[in-house]
């Protein structure tokens, strides 16, 4: 089994392949700082796809260069946890000198590019160098979708394979399918929240938050809802804080000029106080979504966690990342900036989820192919075997171009 280094982890590992936030039981340690627990979903899910007997972290922010020779002998490869690294402001710290000295394969495990609202994505020379180092060290580099693949092609990286995100495959069930129950039987619904968003990526913050608020209230009026936060400070305080911290959170929300006028009204305050969920343990989210009839909302990985457990989900797209996820997996999605009315009935259509079922199956195949061609000992099932059950309907493409080494 493999001996693995992980670059840019997100949380501490326990029981071999489970992830939770660092010192998660010390609530006050991190309650005043934002961290996106969705990143821990990806880390946890990545570990669940591999067979390994040794795992450690490759430090790049404050590396001990004298230890690099030892790490080269003790480990087989490095993987970069999937995230939004291909953007205009990414800082790589000491990655280049560390990887040059380490000289091990570096697996890009579902990395993605982020397009700005205006203009073309401009990458730093440092980012281009890191991406080329990764691609040159492995048979293929795994990206989350077609846009990210194109960005890499444009800088000369051709050995690109579209593999989506490890979170989609964390249950490692190649025959997973979403089958919709009658809508009138749906009772328990999770709503994934993302209140904070950058104007760099979301073109209209007021429209974004107005729709966000209306969606929450519309679903709460119809179903028994849980609001699923993923790391904003005020939301964390409302779940884990002292009574004083909870009131501080409400006051901060009411005093936030970005949200007070059209987002945080009396009904939203009630729902925030009574229906909020947050955890620093990935497994808690998995348990939650498995008990839901539907999960929908703004969070990439919160929604994908639901789908990976067979729970229907609808995506609300507002930037290139959310659009790319929806396209890769053919997930039913609604454009927040379309100025159209959202009606759940329009998306409660099995034919839409059959497209997801086929795309998910094909991307599962691509993920396994990616791991195998890079020499990773994987737990994933070979879906090309003739006894595998496949979703009905025509195959959907799962890769921009067959993976190959850069000349």
pLDDT in tens, 338-352: 989 999 999 999 999
User: 202 in a domain, yes or no?
Assistant: yes
Q: Is the domain of 200 the same as that of 305?
A: yes
Question: How far is Cα 57 from Cα 121, in angstroms, rounded to an integer?
Answer: 30
User: 385 in a domain, yes or no?
Assistant: no
User: 176 in a domain, yes or no?
Assistant: no
Q: Is the domain of 271 the same as that of 305?
A: yes
Q: pTM (2 decimals)?
A: 0.94
What local confidence, expressed as pLDDT, does residue 23 receive?
96
Q: Is the domain of 110 the same as that of 33?
A: yes
Among 145, 169, 193, residue at a domain's last position = 169
Query: Tens digit of pLDDT for each residue in 307-317?
Result: 999 999 999 99
User: 325 in a domain, yes or no?
Assistant: yes
What local confidence, expressed as pLDDT, does residue 401 receive?
33
Q: Is the domain of 192 the same as that of 65?
A: no
User: 27 in a domain, yes or no?
Assistant: yes
What local confidence, expressed as pLDDT, does residue 118 receive?
85
Q: Is the domain of 197 the same as that of 219?
A: yes
For residue 319, the enclosing domain spans 183-349
User: 144 in a domain, yes or no?
Assistant: yes
Percent of the chain with pLDDT over 90: 87
User: 121 in a domain, yes or no?
Assistant: yes
Query: What burial class does residue 27 get, using C-beta atoms within 10 Å of its C-beta: 0-12 exposed, 13-18 middle, 19+ buried?
Result: middle
Give the β-pairing of 294-297 and 77-81: unpaired
Token pair in block for residue 376: 């990773």
Q: Is the domain of 214 the same as that of 270?
A: yes
The CATH number for 137's domain is 3.40.50
Among 327, 349, 371, residue at a domain's last position = 349
User: 196 in a domain, yes or no?
Assistant: yes
What local confidence, expressed as pLDDT, does residue 391 receive?
57
The tally of domains found in the chain comes to: 2
């Amino acid at each position: 089994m493999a001996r693995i280094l992980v670059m840019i982890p997100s949380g501490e590992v326990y029981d071999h392949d489970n992830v939770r936030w660092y010192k998660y039981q010390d609530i006050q340690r991190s309650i005043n700082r934002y961290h996106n627990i969705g990143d821990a979903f990806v880390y946890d899910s990545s570990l669940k796809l591999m067979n390994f007997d040794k795992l450690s972290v490759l430090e790049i922010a404050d590396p001990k260069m004298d230890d690099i020779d030892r790490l080269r002998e003790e480990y087989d490869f490095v993987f970069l946890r999937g995230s939004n690294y291909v953007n205009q402001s990414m800082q790589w710290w000491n990655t280049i000198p560390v990887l040059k000295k380490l000289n091990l394969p570096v697996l890009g495990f579902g990395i993605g590019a982020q397009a700005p609202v205006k203009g073309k994505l401009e990458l730093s020379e440092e980012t281009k160098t890191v991406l080329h180092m990764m691609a040159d060290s492995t048979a293929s580099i795994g990206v989350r979708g077609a846009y990210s693949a194109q960005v890499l092609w444009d800088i000369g990286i051709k050995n690109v394979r579209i593999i989506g995100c490890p979170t989609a495959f964390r249950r490692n069930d190649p025959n997973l399918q979403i089958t919709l129950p009658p809508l009138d039987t749906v009772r328990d619904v999770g709503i994934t929240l993302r209140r904070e968003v950058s104007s760099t990526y979301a073109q209209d913050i007021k429209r974004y938050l107005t729709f966000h608020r209306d969606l929450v209230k519309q679903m709460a009026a119809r179903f028994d809802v849980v609001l699923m936060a993923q790391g904003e400070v005020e939301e964390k305080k409302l779940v884990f804080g002292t009574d004083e911290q909870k009131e501080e959170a409400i006051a901060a929300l009411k005093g936030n000029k970005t949200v007070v006028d059209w987002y945080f009204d009396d009904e939203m305050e009630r729902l925030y106080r009574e229906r909020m969920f947050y955890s620093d343990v990935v497994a808690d989210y998995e348990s939650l979504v498995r008990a839901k009839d539907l999960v929908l909302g703004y969070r990439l990985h919160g929604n994908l966690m639901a789908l990976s457990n067979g729970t229907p989900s609808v995506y609300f797209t507002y930037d290139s990342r959310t659009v790319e996820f929806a396209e890769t997996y053919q997930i039913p999605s609604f454009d927040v900036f379309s100025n159209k009315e959202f009606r759940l009935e329009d998306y409660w259509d099995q034919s839409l989820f059959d497209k997801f079922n086929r795309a998910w199956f094909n991307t599962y195949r691509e993920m396994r192919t990616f791991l195998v061609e890079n020499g990773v000992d994987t737990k994933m099932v070979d879906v090309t075997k003739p006894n595998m059950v496949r979703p009905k309907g025509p195959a959907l493409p799962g890769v921009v171009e067959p993976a190959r080494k850069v000349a």
